[in-house]
């Protein structure tokens, strides 16, 4: 019995440490970029909405869905290592600046690996979800994404969900370089991307099925024009 209690206590301690690290990382990221806070609130909820819509057909458990909701805001954690001159640039990137921005993915993976190592989080439920969504959220199913050109079979479902949620938020948010698109226009564009083999069609379909709830999320967590002018498309 004592051994079981010690194991439970250790698990709770590591989970608390992870949750604390998640919150610190979210707060720090928001300080770096004023548009990020609302974006993270929206896209984590878009992720949960998509996952709930796919739960039956893809066997996604309630635990998986809530872990995805918890970890989704850390998908861009590597951006804390990107210089402000690039991260906050109000305009198009030069080729070198784009290369620097894209490096946030590998930087984020290294940060997560260090987090897992320092806090001994290997056995924590869902820790693999965190690493996967950080590593693959800019990859497209046809291999045209970055940083490694990973294709369909090697991109886990959590990353495919985050990618769709992230792009949807980029399209439906106002930016210095564009007005916010309405939901129908955004979904039509994403349908085309799915037809081209870039996005997971099931994820896009789940988002379309939940578009009324998506609209409520946008209304609740809206924001003013952000300074960062990084287009996803």
Task: Say what the pTM is.
Answer: 0.85
pLDDT over threshold 50, residue 3: no
**C-alpha span between 114 and 20 (Å, rounded):** 15
Instruction: Give per-residue pLDDT as tens, 91-112.
Output: 889 999 999 999 999 999 998 9
**C-alpha span between 145 and 153 (Å, rounded):** 14
Where do the domains of the chain lie, and which CATH numbers do they carry?
Answer: 2-220 (1.10.3210.10)
Three-state secondary structure call for residue 43: helix
Instruction: Give per-residue pLDDT as tens, 179-223.
Output: 999 999 999 999 999 999 999 999 999 999 999 999 999 999 986
Q: Hey, CA dihedral for 123, 125, 128, 130, is it positive or negative? A: negative
The closest alpha carbon to 227, from 32, 53, 80, belongs to 32
């Amino acid at each position: 019995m004592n051994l079981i209690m010690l194991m439970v206590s250790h698990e709770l301690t590591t989970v608390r440490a992870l949750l604390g690290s998640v919150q610190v990382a979210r707060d720090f990221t928001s300080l770096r970029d004023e548009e990020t806070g609302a974006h993270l609130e929206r896209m984590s909820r878009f992720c949960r909405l998509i996952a709930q819509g796919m739960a039956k057909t893809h066997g996604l458990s309630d635990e998986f869905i809530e872990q995805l909701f918890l970890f989704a805001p850390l998908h861009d954690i590597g951006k804390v290592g990107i210089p402000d001159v690039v991260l906050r640039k109000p305009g198009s990137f030069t080729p070198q600046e784009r290369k620097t921005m894209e490096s946030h993915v590998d930087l984020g993976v290294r940060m997560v690996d260090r987090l897992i190592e320092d806090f001994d989080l290997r056995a924590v439920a869902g820790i693999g979800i965190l690493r996967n969504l950080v590593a693959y959220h800019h990859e497209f199913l046809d291999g045209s994404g970055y940083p490694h050109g990973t294709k369909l079979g090697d991109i886990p479902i959590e990353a495919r969900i985050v990618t769709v949620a992230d792009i949807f938020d980029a399209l439906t948010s106002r930016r210095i370089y564009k007005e916010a698109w309405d939901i129908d226009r955004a979904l039509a564009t994403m349908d085309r991307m799915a037809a081209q083999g870039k996005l997971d069609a099931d994820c896009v379909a789940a988002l379309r099925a939940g578009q009324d709830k998506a609209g409520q999320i946008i209304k609740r967590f809206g924001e003013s024009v952000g300074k960062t002018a990084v287009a996803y498309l």
